[in-house]
Amino acid sequence: MNSGSSNSRLLLDGITKSYPGCLANDNISIDVKAGSIHAILGENGAGKSTLMKIIYGVVKPDSGKLLWEGQETTINAPIDARELGIGMVFQHFSLFQTLSVVENIALGLDQRSSSDMDRLAKRIIEVSTKYGMPLEPHRLVHTLSTGERQRVEIVRCLIQDIKLLILDEPTSVLTPQEVDSLFDTLRQLADEGSSILFISHKLKEIQSLCDSATVLRAGRVSGSCVPSDESTTSMARMMVGDETQIGSEYPNAKNDMPDFLSINQLNVATTDIFGVDLKNISFAAKQGEILGIAGVAGNGQSELLSVLSGETQLEGFNIITFPDADLTQSNPMQRRACGMGFVPEDRLGHGAVPDMSLRDNALLTGFLQGLISRGFVNQSATENFSKTIIDQFDVKCGGNNSLAKSLSGGNLQKFIIGREILQTPRCLIAAHPTWGVDVGAATSIHKALIALRDQGASILIISEDIDELFTISDRICALFDGQLSPIKPTNATSIEEVGSWMAGVFGRQQAA
Amino acid sequence: MRIKLEARGQQSKLMSYASPILAALLTLICGAFLFWMLGKSPMQALHTFLIMPISDPYRIAELLVKAGPIVLCAMGLSICFRANIWNIGAEGQLLMGGLVGSCAALALLDSQGIWVLPLILVAGILGGMAWAAIPAFLKNYFNTNEILSTIMLNYISLNILLHGVHGPLKDPNGFNFPESALFSDWQTMPILLEGTRLHLGVSFALLAMVGVWVLMSKTFIGFQIKVLGGDERSAHFAGFKHKRLVWFCLLLCGGLAGLAGVGEVTGPIGQLVPNISPGYGYAAIIVAFLGRLHPLGILFAGLLMALLYMGGEMVQIHLDLPLAVTGVFQGMLLLFLLICDVLIGYRIIVHKSAPKIVKQSLSIEPPAVAIEGK
């Protein structure tokens, strides 16, 4: 597999980069061999992204050396990196939705190779079939699935001679089946001599794919290993340190509880040209249970959330009932008054106002908790509420006067989750509740959710992280193309089955 | 040497206060240059323009009389701007306030009593509110851009006012001058300071300042307005009623501008005339931003703006310069403010090295072109 593995493709020596108030990379040294698949493992905020940006020339290191095939090199800009043969697939795709595949790829190339679109289209077909990622060059990007969009990003790198491919959390947007086929492609590339840097915090994937791994923690290398020689627990230890509790098993809820939140025959046509229509969705979340909704992003999750929170106005009757009241036409404030709480997908600019302090952001949805008297804001109650959130959910910030935008994604997530949980809703609807938070914090958020469930709340979790859903859900289902799969108790199904639901393999349209 | 703007990463609090002062200084410097170009002594001209208007108590009172309506309008505008509602229509709302207030005054011309003036003021306020209700309605139900609708309504209200003074509201005994009858003592604002024109209406500006401050910093509705302006999606998520907030902001601003208008016709003017405002409603836009949308800041900015109006008259009288000098200074002030505001988000970096073509500048960093939507 590793032909010529003694040759170093990329050697980082003592890379250090600091930002004001934060040492993102501290003396990091990594050796990536030619033809190897090397994992960079670490929690959010461990410094993985900064390191990749340094390699790709987006960020300049404060000190340290970078050796490319044995030669000391400085990479000043992504164009330098591309000339060397470094390609990068970002976590958030950089594609123009209204352009076709070939146009998007041409944008990343120099003038010479992008002028002849027909030849480029042929080359795209050639490359994409060779690596088992078929693409139609003339399709518009917004008609592609997330997995196909990722292929465009990868093919864009492969179309030039690639020596090092960097993938930043590539599997978070894929179904389990798509992950397998991506791994086949990556193995094929490595066999041909390309090196691959695979950034992830999913230990099982790293074990099955990577030849070597470097673990980062708080900006430093906390260990290197051969993943196949390690257990997932030992790698997790390297990732989070000794003090943090790693995951735990949660007892399932009793399943004889009555229906609490019911959705009946929900059909919503989207107003967004890139949106997804919701088709004939019916389900009921029981009192005292966690219902998980899996699915790859862009299959109707945001539309469903917006309908449930009341941001999308519905017409009709008895489509949404909770527990017995008809909430179909009610607005978000009325739903909150009924005891519902919401955690939206986007932290900043949806769940929190970027330019407002945490105190004001606590008031944003907490105003029904006695923070308002006769139209005036009760300053001290608001102060206390925001402080309680910060304390109980261990939000790292410079006090409740910090602006929401100054917090890291994970910390803001803890704040928003805490804000909703501390209002003890009778029904909590949360998107990606542990998105971007570290393992320790994820565990405490899970515990808080379980505690809320055990108090009799109904909790609906919409997440792309199938492992998380299997950890905390009592029942699980998947959303695909705006339609809901069957719902099964978590212990009566498997990751494979839910994975196939995520890919749309269930008796669709039958329920009508 | 190469000069470059570099993002600060974080907005500078210091610069957000320093920027208006810097803008005022730059306006002074360019103003001095302008006077020099016109063949006047810059120092003498600046003295006439800026110092003479506040050189005796009568003139200071005049300054306050001019600042009153500007500050009232700017207070209302600041609430709209905080909510990201770009109301450019304070001028029209002011004119409508003056017009409707005048109609009420003329209808009550023979009435006497302490209740007459309050009634006229309420009529003026309602006039301004009604005029602001039009863009609010259009915005809420037809998603009309309020910038366009309010600007257009400014011209419409001016023409309605002109129609009024040239037609039905013209004083029958006024020798065909386009003016209404003079209001009676019961219908005009009491003078606060004997020997000046400082009238009761000016104190409304101070009341409005306190009211706006309480509204924006203490009340829940003020909080909702700030959220709406800060992040519309979050406001929607929290369940704040967008349409009601649009109504509230525009009607409040219309009411304050209407009060400013009726304060002019019942105050220093004392009748309805074709030009009751020398652009106070437009000047208030500059004042609102110069004052950083903060009530106290607006008060100071309003005084400065009034000084420019007074100064314009002074240089006209003493130096034979056109009144347009006022407009030029207003324009420079706004322009320099906008320029200086760049420094809130950016800092200037001066590189000593000779300019060279850097490869870096040619590349596009992939994250910068990210367009992935949902």
pLDDT per residue as tens digits for the range A257-308: 788 899 998 999 887 777 789 999 999 998 889 999 998 877 888 899 999 9
Of residues B359 and B328, the one with the higher pLDDT is B328
Mean pLDDT to the nearest integer, A61-90: 88
Nearest-neighbour CA in chain A from B2: distance (Å): 19
| Rg for chain B, CA atoms, rounded | 23
Tell me whether residues B367 and A94 touch, CB distance under 8 A: yes
B360 → closest Cβ in A77, A90, A353: A77
User: How far does the CA of residue B365 sit from the closest CA of chain A (Å)?
Assistant: 6
For the cut 80, the answer to whether the pLDDT of residue A81 exceeds it is: yes
pLDDT computed for residue A6 by the predictor: 58
Contact A90 B370 (CB under 8 A): yes
Predicted confidence band of residue B363 (pLDDT cuts 50, 70, 90) = very low
Q: Kindly report the backbone phi and psi dihedral angles of residue B216, in degrees, each rounded to the nearest multiple of 5, phi listed first.
A: -80, -25
Q: Which residues of chain A does B363 touch, with a Cβ-Cβ cutoff of 8 Å?
A: 77-80
Chain B interface test: which of A94, A309, A372 (most B C-beta within 10 Å): A94
Closest Cα partner for A417 from A398, A405, A399, A435? A435
Q: Which segment of A21-35, A44-58, A233-247, B100-114 scores lowest on mean pLDDT?
A: A233-247
| A78 closest CB neighbour out of B10, B223, B366 | B366
Taking residues A176-194, report their average pLDDT: 89
Contact A325/B at CB under 8 A: no
Q: Do B367 and A92 touch (CB under 8 A)?
A: yes
| Cβ-defined contact of B367 to A333 (cutoff 8 Å) | no
Cβ–Cβ gap A364/B218 under 8 Å: no
| pLDDT above 90 as % of chain A | 32
What pLDDT is attached to residue A249?
Answer: 67
Average pLDDT over chain B reads 89
CB A448 within 8 A of CB A417: yes
- The pLDDT score that the predictor gives to residue A243 is 63
Q: Is B363 on the interface with A (CB under 8 A)?
A: yes
Please give the Cα distance from A52 to A86 (Å, whole number).
11
pLDDT score recorded for residue A20: 65
Q: What is the CA radius of gyration of chain A?
A: 24
A347 and B CB contact within 8 Å? no
Whether the per-residue pLDDT at B107 is higher than 50: the answer is: yes
- The DSSP bridge partners found for residue A78 are none
* Residue-level pLDDT at A21: 62
Contact B234 A349 (CB under 8 A): yes
- A140 shares contact with chain B (CB less than 8 Å): no
Check residue A99 and give left, alpha or beta (phi > 0: left; psi -120 to 50: alpha): beta
Interface check for B234 against chain A (CB to CB < 8 A): the answer is yes
Q: What's the pLDDT band for B367 if we cut at 50, 70, 90? A: very low
For the segment B161-198, what is each residue's pLDDT rounded down to a tens digit? 999 999 999 998 888 899 999 999 999 999 998 888 99
pLDDT band at A255; cut points 50, 70, 90? low
Least CB-CB distance to B237: which of A96, A149, A309?
Answer: A309
pLDDT for B248 equals 97
Residues 6+ apart with CB under 8 A from B126: B100, B255, B258
Nearest to B258 by CA among B72, B64, B68, B63: B72
Residue pairs spanning A and B at CB distance below 8 A: 118
3-state secondary structure of A55: helix
* Closest CB to B230 among A108, A302, A353: A353
Chain A positions touching B358 (Cβ under 8 A) are 76
> In the prediction, which pLDDT does A442 show?
83
Q: Check pLDDT > 80 for residue B373.
A: no
pLDDT at residue number B126:
98
User: Which carries the bigger pLDDT value, residue B353 or residue A64?
Assistant: A64
> How much is the average pLDDT of A152-178?
85
Q: How far apart are CA A376 and CA B223, in angstroms?
A: 10
Question: Taking a C-beta distance cutoff of 8 angstroms, is the pair A432, A462 a contact?
Answer: yes
Rounded average pLDDT over A468-486: 91
Judging contacts by C-beta atoms under 8 Å, the chain A residues touching residue B218 are 376-377
Instruction: Over range A328-357, report the average pLDDT.
Output: 90
B238–A78: do the CB atoms touch at under 8 Å? no
Q: Do residue A95 and residue B372 have CB atoms under 8 angstroms apart?
A: yes
Closest CB to B363: pick one of A20, A78, A360: A78
**Could you give the residue ranges of the DSSP H alpha helices within chain B?**
13-37, 42-46, 57-82, 90-107, 116-142, 146-166, 200-218, 220-230, 232-238, 242-264, 280-290, 295-319, 324-345
Least CB–CB distance from B374: residue in A298, A309, A353: A298
DSSP state at residue B219: B
Cβ of B373 within 8 Å of Cβ of A93? The answer is: no
Nearest residue on chain B to A79, alpha-carbon basis: B363
pLDDT tens for each residue of A396-445 = 888 888 888 888 777 888 899 999 999 999 999 999 888 777 777 788 88
Q: Which residues in chain B have their CB less than 8 angstroms from residue A344's CB?
A: 237
Residues with Cβ within 8 Å of residue B340, at least 6 apart in sequence: B15, B18, B19, B20, B22, B23, B26
Rounded to the nearest angstrom, the minimum Cα separation between A9 and chain B is 23
Mean of pLDDT values over A144-173: 85
What's residue B122's pLDDT?
Answer: 97
Q: Which residues of A touch B372 (CB under 8 A)?
A: 92-95, 97, 149
Tell whether A334 lies on the interface with B, counting CB pairs under 8 A: yes
pLDDT value, residue A114: 64
Query: If you write DSSP's letter for every residue of A287-342 in order, what string do you get?
Result: TT-EEEEE--TTSSHHHHHHHHHTSS---SSSSEEETTEE-TT--HHHHHHTTEEE
- The answer on pLDDT for A190 being more than 80 is yes
- The whole-angstrom separation of Cα A155 and Cα A93 is 13
Asked whether the predicted pLDDT for residue A512 surpasses 60, the reply is no
Residue A113 has pLDDT above 80, yes or no: no
Pick the residue with more confidence: A380 or B10?
A: A380
Domains of chain A in start order, with CATH, are 8-240 (3.40.50.300), 247-339+427-434+458-512 (3.40.50.300), 347-424 (no CATH)
pLDDT of residue A276: 85
Instruction: Give the pLDDT score at B293.
Output: 93
Q: Which residues of B touch A334 (CB under 8 A)?
A: 239
Percentage above 70 pLDDT, chain A: 94
The overall average pLDDT reported for chain A is 86
Please tell me the distance from the alpha carbon of residue B235 to that of residue B212, in angstroms, as a whole number.
21
Q: Which of B242, A408, A201 is nearest to A416 (CA)?
A: A408
The answer to whether B366 contacts A375, with C-beta atoms less than 8 Å apart, is no
Task: Assess A398–B contact: CB distance below 8 Å, yes or no.
Answer: no
Residue of B nearest to A82 (CA): B363
* CB–CB contact B230 A375 (8 Å): no
